[in-house]
Structure 1
Amino acid sequence: MKLAKESLESFDTSPNEEVLQRIFSVLRSGSGHDFSLYKSNTICRRIERRMRALRFDSIERYAAYLAENNSEIQLLLNDLLIGVTSFFRDNEAFDVIKTYLIEQLKEKPDHYIYRAWVPACSTGEEAYSTAIILHECIQSINANIEVQIFASDIDEEAITKARRGIYTAEQLEKTSSSRLNKFFTKVDGVGYRINQDVREQIVFAPQSVIKDPPFTRIDLLSCRNLLIYLGPQLQKKLLSLFHYSLNKAGLLFLGSSESIGGFSDHFECLDKKHKIYQRKDFELMGCRKLRFPITQCSITVNKGEKIKRKKPMIKNERYGSLDQLLLEHCLPSCVIADKNGEIIYVHGSISELFEP
């Protein structure tokens, strides 16, 4: 591919949908990740950065170059996965959520295993911040509760860094000296390492919140500053998924520029300023609309095959509901999905079916 020699002052950064879909297709084939439902302006800014580095003046030319160069797929992916994160990002919000966490923890029995999920955890700062405030809350009420945190991200390199738990002094500048002394150990010439007892509470794992089954039976879901990068369709899908993942009265903690949008029937707003929400009970139909995976279908059926609804075997009105009664008591928990991966029917408790 011939690189452009013309001035780069003017970029064609308003590509038509066909060009963007070509780029998404190449990324999906080359990396397994689908960015088609992300906000296009976010994607275009990252593409423009790669164009500048390669001195392309046309996004169509860049798309062609991308399709022919596997190394560029990885470089663009690295740009798209840049995570902006820090310890106790928005300290005030963390202070406020502790009040709700304490109320929630007081209702838990002895030896309860408190489960939290931090999707899009990047290099681990948010997950460790969550572990620290949970430790402080549990200690403040002298509760006998075990904490289990699942932290996930599609960036495997970031996950590896998170597992190490080593951070520079600059990365810990928002962390108070008391927390630094209590939860970190200084490592000469490197910075600080989060203490082992905190690290052992967290399971870091590569996972795409978009296409992989979610963690379930969650008491706290902290997803701060992911939704702002996603388009409306994907935001709705994830909010439905988060509602499904949370236990009754579970807490949802979003970033300062995010909200639940039209999902007020799923979540109660506890603190509008600091984006703290609580799960509401919702009809099972809400769960049936979920799709796993959201963008890529792993379920296949034979071409032309249709799911047919069987007629009731017992037609006598006296026994009209007997078949339904037998199904409810004898049929194992199950999920039926259509050829696109849409869950169209749910029977019984299905949490264990989607537990990683």
Structure 2
Amino acid sequence: MNLSAQTRQVPKTPVTLMYRVYKYVLPEVRAELARLRVIAERIPDDELRVQALASMTSKQFHCEGGGIYAAANLNSRHILVPLIVCLQTISDYLDNLCDRSTSLDADDFRLLHQSMLDAVDPVAPLRDYYALRAEREDGGYLHELVSTCQACVRQLPSYASVQPHVTELVGLYGDLQVYKHIAKELREPALLAWWEAHRHRVPHLQWNEFAAATGSTLGMFMLFLAASDEACTPEDALRIRDAYFPHVCGLHIMLDYLIDQEEDRIGGDLNFCNYYTNQSQLTERIGLIVENARKDVTRLPVPRFHRMVIEGLIALYLSDPKVSGQQDVRLVSRRLMRRSPLTRLFFWGNSVVIRKRQSSN
């Protein structure tokens, strides 16, 4: 992979990475979220405004975590930070809308998520993404998110090389969001039928693990980072896509579902951790995904950076306060953290510090 200029910039130690995160990424991510919050506060429709603001408040760490990829190319962070924050914010906002929706219409969910496909297409026209639902007046909020993403991808020198894979991952993400939010009795049959169309590509995964992998934005963000280097080729982009999907992406979302089990039970939401016979099998399967993720990233330049991403994910999710309130999750967490490398423990400590700072602001 011929990404020499970017490779020289990529942080190779946890200390260097976290220095950049504290100095550049967190302040710039939070500044972009503050800009978006001002727009969201003016949304005329009460329900859309509530969900837009809630997504930025409760899921801010999604944007902060995604910002890690901007730390790997500081010269392009003025493009990468708003791109990552705005695409992640679309994802979180629409997830809130669909989770707590007044609608169970697959066509409505599909049209809402067309906004993500348009956001990663530099020439796509803006549409009325709310046309199939009752709540429609957002004061231009979703269009602002889409337009910002489009303006950013237009500035990435090698975006043409990565665009097919970004579009594929965004398309799979949209499929998942449609199938997991329709009427409860239709969700599993729809997800299983979808899995049947894709299982030949990842036969070693269970259907819920494939579905989880499609719910991650990390592969998209890594492709954005690669596209910020003019030396990135289509072959490089394919290698990145294959290194991140399904295992790095799957690990990301399985951890997310792991800590959300109690919340999802209360909300009646589908959770992919509920499809194992017991907690031991859940721990074993997540452990296998971790091993495969570590193997996959060895094929990329500066594999240490991607291994830090993997250890950072485990630390970020398993240090979440939600873990301590769920006995089963606490046991799984202990097993996964057993014999943790120092890198993971370092990121664990930093995750706790960042959360404390965030809650005190």
Q: When the two structures are superposed, what TM-score results if normalisation uses the length of structure 1?
A: 0.25
Larger radius of gyration: 1
Q: TM-score, normalised by structure 2?
A: 0.25
| More strand by percentage | 1
Select the structure that is richer in helix: 2
